[in-house]
Structure formats: structure tokens, C-alpha cells
């Protein structure tokens, strides 16, 4: 199958490498560069270890950044074109020829998840603090046909 372009990801999370965590600009830039090259979930765990070994405990912004990279890697494999945040909802959109497999997503369906054929919406208010887990679950279940 032809490779699809990587998805665009826009999550309601502060996701960056704070200056207080990595003060040297060139080091920060090279870390961002290594994050851009990540295309497998396993690489994210390796980077998390490298970050904590080199710079100490991960601040929340870096954890969020790594989470976003992980979601992007998962979404790339799942045929997701974009994950965006609009009006209190996270919206997953698939590439044109793809559809969500409702049967596969049945086990993760719950209040706050609205499943269409090519779009899935997560209601942040309804899902509360567990939306990140739910998002990851949905993408891992793959549910794409």
C-alpha cells in the first residue's frame, strides 16, 4: 500500500521542551529534530528514557510532547489524516478511502464518543481526565477499514 502522509495533530496540551529543562538552544533544537524523525511508538519510550537520563525528571510539557508524538506514530499506522481540537471536542478524521470499523471500536465506545463513518469525536467534558487514554485506545484498536 502507498504510504499516506503523516497526520496533523492538534491536541489541547502544552507540548514543548521548556527552556528551564534544556537551557541550551542548540540542544533543544536537536532534540526536536530527533522527535520529528520518530515513526514508531517504541522510539518514544527510548526518547523518554534518554531525556530523563540527560536532563532529569520529565516536566509535564515534555510528557505531553512525547504523548503527542506517540499519538502521531499510532495515527500514521491507523490511516488517520488529522486529529484536531474544536469546540471542546477532539476530532479524528480519516483519509478519504478509509472508514472506521464500528465493530472493532464497539469495546471502546462510551458516552462522550461519537462515531461517524470517516470521523470520530471525543467530547472532552464527558470524558474528563481520561480523554488521553481513550484517544490512544481508539487509535490502537485501529478500527479502520
Average pLDDT, integer, range 77-95: 93
Q: What was the pLDDT predicted at 20?
A: 97
Q: What was the pLDDT predicted at 82?
A: 96
Which of 23-32, 42-51, 135-144 has the weakest average pLDDT?
Answer: 135-144
Other Cβ atoms closer than 10 A to 54 = 10
pTM of the model as a whole = 0.91
Average pLDDT, integer, range 34-48: 92
pLDDT at 143 over 80: no
Query: Computed from CA positions of residues 36, 134, 82, 9, in that sequence, does the dihedral angle turn out positive or negative?
Result: negative
Average pLDDT, integer, range 22-50: 94
Q: What was the pLDDT predicted at 26?
A: 98
Check: CB of residue 9 under 8 Å from CB of residue 35: no
Q: What was the pLDDT predicted at 1?
A: 46
Other Cβ atoms closer than 10 A to 100 = 24
Report angle CA 29, 131, 73 to the nearest 5 degrees. Answer: 40
Q: What was the pLDDT predicted at 133?
A: 94
Check: CB of residue 45 under 8 Å from CB of residue 39: no
Average pLDDT, integer, range 87-99: 91
Give the max Cα distance, the chain: 49
Q: What was the pLDDT predicted at 2?
A: 55
Closest residue by Cα to residue 94 from 145, 45, 19: 145
Q: What was the pLDDT predicted at 144?
A: 66
Closest residue by Cα to residue 132 from 77, 90, 99, 82: 90
Amino acid at each position: 500500500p502507498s504510504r499516506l502522509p503523516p497526520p496533523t495533530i492538534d491536541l489541547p496540551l502544552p507540548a514543548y521542551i521548556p527552556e528551564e529543562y534544556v537551557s541550551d538552544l542548540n540542544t533543544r533544537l536537536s532534540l526536536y529534530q530527533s522527535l520529528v524523525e520518530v515513526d514508531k511508538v517504541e522510539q518514544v519510550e527510548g526518547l523518554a528514557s534518554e531525556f530523563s537520563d540527560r536532563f532529569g525528571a520529565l516536566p509535564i510539557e515534555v510528557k505531553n510532547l512525547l504523548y503527542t508524538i506517540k499519538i502521531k506514530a499510532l495515527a500514521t499506522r491507523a490511516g488517520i489524516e488529522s486529529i484536531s481540537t474544536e469546540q471542546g471536542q477532539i476530532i479524528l478524521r480519516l483519509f478519504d478511502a478509509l472508514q472506521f470499523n464500528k465493530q472493532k471500536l464497539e469495546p471502546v465506545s462510551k458516552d462522550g464518543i461519537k462515531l461517524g463513518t470517516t470521523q470520530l469525536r471525543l467530547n472532552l467534558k464527558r470524558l474528563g481526565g481520561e480523554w488521553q487514554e481513550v484517544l490512544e485506545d481508539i487509535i490502537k484498536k485501529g478500527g479502520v477499514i
